[in-house]
Amino acid sequence: MAVRSVPFFNYPHVFRSSEDEFMAIFQDIGRRGAFIAQEDLHRFEKHLAEYAGAKYALGVANATDGLHMAVRAAGLGAGDEIIFSSHTMVATGAAIYFAGAKPVPVDCGPDHLIAPDSVEAAITARTRAIMPTQLNGRTCNMEAIQSIADKHNLLIIEDASQALGSRFKSKAAGTFGLAAAISFYPAKTLGCLGDGGAVLTNDDQMYRKLSLLRDHGRDEVGDVAMWGLNSRLDNLQAAILDFKLARYDQEIEQRRKIATLYERLLCGRKELVLPPSPSADPDHFDVFQNYEIEADRRDELKVFLRQRGIGTLVQWGGKAVHQFEKLGFQVSLPFTERMFERCLMLPMNSALTEADVEYVCEAVCEFY
């Protein structure tokens, strides 16, 4: 087989794919001097809220800040425990930690998303909220999470960083709880040209507090109503995101096509566990931020694919949050730990051609 290059993610392609349009946006923003909190940001926020089916969207500097501010705006902090899945970016736990609350990691289930039974088992008298991560572009079974939250009087704050546009039972990720954060990191399904994020909420009070928190606590007339941070989404990034949001459905369609092709070419291999196919379950609409498989002899497969020019990644540098020793968690999460010996992300982005995906699948089959 002739070796070709299939990088895990093609960063230059992000820019090249719409270079002329981006240059026009840079010029327009630059000539207007519209750098911070201008009409482009407000327009994008309006479009994002409409797209996500939320009452409000607020652009923030990144999703980590968005989650952190959401925890604070919800009134949670010292003495409170918040349950999250250990199979997430460390940012989820960090957002809880920096709000002064205690992050409590729990196991994920076979779908790699937070396992409702492990949430229930981790609840104590101090538990105040659940922060489910809508991982890999798939929304959790939010009925199960909501019923636990209702039973124990807990808030839900979603980490929807990887899941804009994904749905469970026709309801969009980011609209189930009190608030949610989305990330616009360049490799995300809706990525900007740097860091960026948004918070979604349907709650008027949360919106008010989050608006203050992200801008030094200042209200519309510049009076300081509370202590705040500087965590605004740049106007330039907002203009770029607004341009990309108008084309977002095509991005998702392309990713779902790639997932269907992976499924067709790899299903039936006993050495692999594939993510649910895009058409498997009418309750779920997945946007395939990632294509995370489980594989026998994962590390050898990774090396083999690298030799064939194919980039793969083990999420979070190969460890779930509770496995980073210096963070000091004293917990064993057997399912997540076993999964982290087997999980591997194959390339998944809209720069991939059908021939690229076929090449990846041929190489995987050749390895076994």
Q: Which residues bind ligand PLP (CB under 6 A)?
A: 62-64, 88-89, 91-92, 133, 159, 161-162, 183, 185, 197
- Least distance from ligand PLP to the Cβ atom of residue 214, Å: 14
In the complex, what is the shortest distance from the CB of residue 293 to ligand PLP, in angstroms, rounded to a whole number? 18
For ligand PLP, the closer of residues 292 and 356 by Cβ is 292
Q: Indicate the residue among 94 and 273 with the shorter CB distance to ligand PLP.
A: 94
Sign of the dihedral defined by the CA atoms of residues 196, 130, 325, 272, in that order: negative
Specify the residue for token string 């269907």. Answer: 260
Task: Find the shortest distance in angstroms from Cβ 235 to ligand PLP.
Answer: 18
Rounded Cα distance, 164 and 73, in Å: 22
CA 133 to chain centre: 7
> CB of 252: closest distance to ligand PLP in angstroms?
17
> Closer to ligand PLP at the Cβ: 92 or 350?
92
Question: 337 — alpha (psi -120 to 50), left (phi > 0) or beta?
Answer: alpha
Q: What is the smallest separation between the CB atom of 87 and ligand PLP, expressed in angstroms?
A: 9
Q: Which helix (H) or strand (E) holds 141?
A: none
CA dihedral 148, 324, 305, 12 (to 10 degrees): 90
CB closer to ligand PLP, 340 vs 359: 340
User: Of 158 and 356, which has the nearer Cβ to ligand PLP?
Assistant: 158
With CA atoms as reference, report the closest residue to 182 among 193, 171, 195: 195
Q: Which is nearer to ligand PLP, 185 or 285 (CB)?
A: 185
Whole-angstrom Cα distance, residue 182 to residue 134? 10
Min dist. Cβ of residue 71 to ligand PLP (A): 13
Instruction: Provide the minimum distance between the beta carbon of 92 and ligand PLP in the complex, in angstroms, as a whole number.
Output: 5
**Min separation Cβ 135 and ligand PLP, Å:** 6
Given the complex with ligand PLP, which of 184 and 359 has the nearer CB atom? 184
Complex with ligand PLP: residue 10 or 92, whichever CB lies closer: 92
Q: How far is the CB of 198 from ligand PLP (least distance, A)?
A: 9
User: Could you identify the residue written with the tokens 């309750």?
Assistant: 283
**What single string gives the DSSP state of each residue in 147-215?**
HHHHHHT-EEEEE-TT-TT-EETTEETTSSSSEEEEE--TTSSS--SS--EEEEES-HHHHHHHHHHTB
CA atoms within 13 A on the CB side of 242: 19
For residue 184, how far is the Cα from the chain centroid? 9
Helix (H) or strand (E) holding 331: none
Task: Report how far residue 139's alpha carbon sits from residue 224's, in angstroms, rounded to the nearest whole number.
Answer: 37
What are the helix (H) ranges across the chain?
Answer: 11-16, 19-32, 39-52, 63-73, 90-98, 116-122, 142-152, 204-213, 235-245, 248-266, 298-307, 334-339, 354-367
- Residue (197 or 228) nearer to ligand PLP, CB: 197
